[in-house]
Amino acid sequence: MTQTQTRKADHIRICLDEDVQFQRLTNGLEKYRFTHCCLPEINCNEIDLNSKFLGKTMGVPLLISSMTGGTQQAKTINFRLAEVAQHYKLAMGVGSQRVAVEIPQVADTFAVRSLAPDILLFANLGAVQLNYTYGLDECQRVVDLLQADALILHLNPLQECIQPQGDTNFRGLLKKIELLCAKLPVPVIVKEVGNGISAVMAQKLLNAGVSAIDVAGAGGTSWAKVESERALSDKQRQLGLTFADWGLPTAECITSIRAIAPEVPLIASGGLRNGLDIAKAIALGADISGLAWPFLKAASESAEAVDSLVQLLIAEITTVLFCTGNATLSELKNSNVLQKLG
């Protein structure tokens, strides 16, 4: 197993077996509460969760966020997720495909399109790799491998700073993202990995030609803590622990970005754990919501566990709409039924 594959395997193991969640900083969604409607005047069975994102219809406004690939365990996880995504018309991202560029023989661990021919599917590379020999060719290669609808470029400066042998040269990266957006034939989505995107940075990315933003805010899995678990020295370990609660809460990212970019396709992720969180994020202005850790946990068990998770999430979102008197997600967004506490 190569160093990159070992890192991928470590990430799965640590996320499943160790406590690497944010401890003090939350996603901020607990600061909001829906106004209960005691007389909805709608039929719960007629509630419609369909939504559109990047021109494609989704059955539920739910993204299985980018997680893994490159190992046999990762292949099993990705294939289980893809089957369920196809059944419910969810969107899905895969983990960083850098390992597939470096080791072409593991490309099949990402290749889920045959199992999910109709879903919104996102390829994924670390944006910083554009400063480490990667360019349009590599980006096109990972898109083609997946037959992807878009490319996610993930930003992870804190993780790279703590990770052993991390790639920390981010100089001039915005200009390279701009050039890539101009030349790549599919939309480019930029996401963080759990520390959030501010409105100021979102505006710079949108000016560079990015088509959509995934806020990936703080409050869920702390990649500083994950890398602390992989540390090769006491210094690295302590660095990860010091910055374990670093970042911008997800709710804050959603509201601040939506305020400066009312129309941008916006994904909410970062510490979302249930359908109530998903509904709150959408009511705050997100178009769809992404979950990672709950799907990783379920997919490590079985496809049936993933299916059960999606059924529960759908029931929870539906309950929010019913008990706020909204028949569609569009109505929820425009109903002003989510109030900030205090």
Quick one: pLDDT at residue 34?
A: 98
Q: Give the count of domains, the chain.
A: 1
* pTM: predicted TM-score of the whole model, two decimal places: 0.97
Please, which residues bridge with residue 33 across strands?
Answer: 339
Quick one: pLDDT at residue 147?
A: 98
Quick one: pLDDT at residue 208?
A: 98
CB 95 within 8 A of CB 73: no
| Cβ neighbours of residue 192 closer than 8 Å, sequence gap 6 or more | 154, 155, 156, 214, 215, 216, 217, 247, 270
Quick one: pLDDT at residue 68?
A: 93
Quick one: pLDDT at residue 32?
A: 98
Quick one: pLDDT at residue 5?
A: 87
Residues of the chain with pLDDT under 70: none
- As a dihedral over the C-alpha atoms of residue 260, residue 35, residue 45, residue 39, rounded to 10 degrees, the angle is -140
Structural domain including 165 reads 3-340
Nearest to 3 by CA among 112, 229, 163: 163
| Helices and strands in the chain, H and E counts | 14, 12
Q: What angle do CA 275, 24, 96 make, to 5 degrees?
A: 60
Nearest to 266 by CA among 197, 214, 329: 214
Task: Report d(CA 124, CA 148) in Å as an integer.
Answer: 9
CATH code of 178's domain = 3.20.20.70
